[in-house]
């Protein structure tokens, strides 16, 4: 289910190629805190290339003679990329007698002990350094879009990764979840992927509808707000203080990841969501059957340290940026350059 989404600064006007080689896409996970230095979980900052996060976990489980469930991670990182990410290894009683095994499929850059297992979404940000090749021009309009992102942030869409290589996760999820026998056969991980694709699709449609309606630069009546850098949400009637805090990125409006619970949305914000939900009854009914739990996600995020260098002779863009955990670099690119593979 591939739908055209609205972008706050207009459609991308140039095209390029992403991930021509692994070294073109570099990402580093930033924890946002220091491990305590003691405990029974060994935190490792691991550099990998040509491996998915799950493949890395399997390799580490073999090398350290652990079960994959004893290894924690915060984020899933691309396979065709050079990435640095944190993992935790549950090694009770080994803090003072641990011997590092020989490894060759990946590189350990840092290590420290901590008292808790690393859980998904724990890290604060991801820093990217990415090369886009075969660029078809670099216009003033593209530069205008980049400058707008620097000052007003980006729409926090879920990236195409959520919807599968063929962008068919939503249709596959509806097909599988309509059959109890097939649903029971799903692994926990696969079930989570399909469930997330359904909620992500609805969220993207809500955000697109808000942008189409002109609600981007300011919050709207009935919004629920999320504090920047946290998952804390609150409702407050729209006023000048809220508008000023919105402009300064102290907070952002949020939208629903559909599920059971009270979002506390009202007025215009609630009406937009109800219209989207009524337009996708098969997804809503499926999520209700699965007893999905309501969550909220900010509709926009600030892009830190965004720097774009156009190299005309090589027809490349070198892009550096830092994004909050849970936001997609491919979504950032979609605001000003079309990198879709049309082969």
The span from the CA of 207 to the CA of 298, in Å, is 10
Active site includes 78?
yes
Contact call for residues 50 and 79 (beta carbons, < 8 A): yes
Tokens of residue 329, six digits? 């670099």
The span from the CA of 216 to the CA of 5, in Å, is 14
Residues contacting residue 55 through CB under 8 Å, at least 6 positions apart: 79
The alpha carbon of residue 187 and the mean position of all alpha carbons in its chain are separated, in whole angstroms, by: 22
DSSP letter for 149, please. H
H-assigned helices in the chain:
53-64, 140-152, 169-177, 180-185, 188-212, 240-247, 267-279, 281-289, 329-334
Q: Which of 78, 141, 250, 338 is catalytic?
A: 78
297-331 burial, b at 16+ Cβ within 10 Å, e below that, comes to bbbbbbbeebebebeeeebbbebebbbbbbbbbbb
Catalytically annotated residues? 78
């Amino acid at each position: 289910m591939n739908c055209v989404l609205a972008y706050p600064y207009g459609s991308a006007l140039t095209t390029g190629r992403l991930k021509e080689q692994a070294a073109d896409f570099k990402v580093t996970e930033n924890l946002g805190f220091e491990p305590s230095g003691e405990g029974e979980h060994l935190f490792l900052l691991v550099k990998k290339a040509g491996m998915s996060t799950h493949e890395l976990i399997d390799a580490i489980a073999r090398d350290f003679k652990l079960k994959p469930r004893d290894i924690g991670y915060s984020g899933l990182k691309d396979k065709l990329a050079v990435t640095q990410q944190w993992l935790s290894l549950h090694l009770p009683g080994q803090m003072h007698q641990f011997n590092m095994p020989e490894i060759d499929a990946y590189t350990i850059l840092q290590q420290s002990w901590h008292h808790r297992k690393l859980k998904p979404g724990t890290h604060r940000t991801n820093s990217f350094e990415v090369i886009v090749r075969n660029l078809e021009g670099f216009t003033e309009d593209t530069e205008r879009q980049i400058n707008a992102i620097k000052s007003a942030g980006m729409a926090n869409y879920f990236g195409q990764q959520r919807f599968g290589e063929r962008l068919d996760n939503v249709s596959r999820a509806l097909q599988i979840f309509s059959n109890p026998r097939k649903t029971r056969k799903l692994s926990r991980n696969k079930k989570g992927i399909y469930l997330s694709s359904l909620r992500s699709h609805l969220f993207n449609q809500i955000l697109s509808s808000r942008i189409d309606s002109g609600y981007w630069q300011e919050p709207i009546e009935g919004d629920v707000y999320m504090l920047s850098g946290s998952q804390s949400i609150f409702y407050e009637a729209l006023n000048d203080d809220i508008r000023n805090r919105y402009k300064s990125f102290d907070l952002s409006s949020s939208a629903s990841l559909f599920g059971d619970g009270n979002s506390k949305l009202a007025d215009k914000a609630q009406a937009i969501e109800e219209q989207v939900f009524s337009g996708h009854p098969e997804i809503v009914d499926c999520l209700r059957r699965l007893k999905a739990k309501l969550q909220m996600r900010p509709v926009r995020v600030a892009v830190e340290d965004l720097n774009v260098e156009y190299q005309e002779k090589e027809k490349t863009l070198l892009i550096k940026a830092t994004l909050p955990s849970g936001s997609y670099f491919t979504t950032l690119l979609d605001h000003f350059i079309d990198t879709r593979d049309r082969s």
